[in-house]
Structure 1
Amino acid sequence: MSEQTKADYIDDVSVDEEWDAHPSQSELDEAVESLEASGFEVEVVPDAEAALDFLTEEIPAEASVMNGHSTTLEEIGFTEYLTEGDHDWENLHAEVFSIDDDQARAKARREAQTADYFLGSVNAIGREDGTLVAADLSGSRIGAYPFAAGHVVTVAGVNKITTDEDAARERLQEYAYAFENERAQEAYGVESYPSKELVFRQETVEGRTTVVLVEETLGY
């Protein structure tokens, strides 16, 4: 099926659009400062094209690359680039989903969590305390974030910046989940649920986790 964006579900959910508001410049600066204080590398880029350029330059040749599902990665063109672009990376996602046997594919998905570079997004960011919040049903998207992957790169529109951890978790529950539930039903025929939630408060390994903040509305 074709890639989907939030616009495909906007008429099917009832949410408070204030959760998608952009921060002021001072609030964005505060988010960057707090995230860096929490041990994250931060890159602020103006648009989706610049975000894709950053990723293609950041990931070295011959690195193994895996990604969890991310509407944001689809919107900036990374998902397509990983599949069809001119790069020398090892595309673990393609390798995993080329496996026909269910048990073997599940095993390969777990092993792919240890990729050199694991890419995805988050559902919300706390600007005051430098926290990242994300959740999914199976954990396959966020499982690599805390420890397994060599490097983690999360890409998020500035619309995901909230005040603090509590607000970030509220955004996840009250806003992002509504869209993900619609997407899951269309894509997989089942409802989703934020059953496995990650609050990423601090990165202790220097240079391991990078947050790319895009000054556009991306994802949900």
Structure 2
Amino acid sequence: MVHDKAAFADDVDFDESLDDLPTDAELEETVANLEDRGFEVVVVDTAEDALAEITDQIPAGASVMNGHSTTLEEIGFDDYLAEGDHDWENLHAEVFAIDDDAERARARREAQTADYFLGGVNAIAQSGELVAADASGSRVGAYPFAAENLLLVSGTNKVVADLDAALDRVENVAYPLEDARAQEVYGVGSAVAKQLIYRYENDEGRTTVVLIRDEFGF
């Protein structure tokens, strides 16, 4: 089931000023600063373009894992991965087919080292920093080092003025919306428990940020 912002926006109090789309000039500055910090950046217009971009980047035979991302759900990646119309090793399916809790947790940790790990971020500063937060850390744990290659997908509504605004967006946009989603799906709320500020990528070509010129995700 896809859980987009529209499903919660009427019932959740969040700071809509931190969810506006950037101007073309602001987006151009953001892309330039991300690239200066070592991130590969691709800007696309639609969800379909984003899905094509990330699936084209993953070679046959690669092991693939993804952390939860509303944006990945919205662009259709979760369905694409589950349907098996690819030649990848689907680590997500392998992990969640394990019945034993301890064994599943161990496999989930090992899957952080996938050839390609996919996820999203909760905020992007125009100055080029990426900010992502989790309750468990099962998503952001792969980002800094564990995954061999990292593909991050985001709507440009997550672009904000600077790092302070990015941290504010996590607390005042992403958290209340994700908390509502978690309560609906899991029956318990979420938390900003483990947070990553991704300032630089020093491994050339490792991390690609796909930006969609529209509102996606929390």
Return the TM-score normalized by structure 1. Answer: 0.97
Out of 195, 199, 202, the residue aligned to residue 200 of structure 2 is 202
**Identity, % of aligned positions:** 61
Alpha-carbon contact 2:14-2:177 (below 8 Å) kept: no
| Alignment map for 1:1-220 (pairs within 5 Å) | 2-128=1-127, 130-220=128-218
Structure 2 counterpart of 1:90, which letter? E
C-alpha distance in structure 1 between counterparts of 2:104 and 2:84, whole Å: 24
SS at match of 1:14: coil
C-alpha distance in structure 1 between counterparts of 2:105 and 2:15, whole Å: 37
Q: Can you list the C-alpha shifts for 1:105-161, whole angstroms capped at 9, x where unaligned?
A: 000000000000000000000112x10000010000110000000001100000000
C-alpha distance in structure 2 between counterparts of 1:145 and 1:105, whole Å: 20
SS at match of 1:33: helix
Q: Can you list the C-alpha shifts for 1:81-103, whole angstroms capped at 9, x where unaligned?
A: 00104100100000000000000
RMSD over aligned CA atoms reads: 0.7
**What runs of 5+ residues in structure 1 fail to find an aligned partner?**
none
**How many residues matched?**
218
Following TM superposition, by how much is the alpha carbon of 1:16 offset from its aligned partner in structure 2, in angstroms? 2.2
C-alpha distance in structure 1 between counterparts of 2:35 and 2:156, whole Å: 16
C-alpha distance in structure 2 between counterparts of 1:77 and 1:175, whole Å: 23
SS at match of 1:143: helix
SS at match of 1:180: helix
Q: Can you list the C-alpha shifts for 1:7-52, whole angstroms capped at 9, x where unaligned?
A: 1111221112121111111100000000000100000011100000
**What runs of 5+ residues in structure 2 fail to find an aligned partner?**
none
C-alpha distance in structure 2 between counterparts of 1:121 and 1:165, whole Å: 17
TM superposition outliers: structure 1 runs of 4+ over 2 Å: none
C-alpha distance in structure 1 between counterparts of 2:164 and 2:66, whole Å: 27
Return the TM-score normalized by structure 2. Answer: 0.98
C-alpha distance in structure 1 between counterparts of 2:96 and 2:11, whole Å: 30
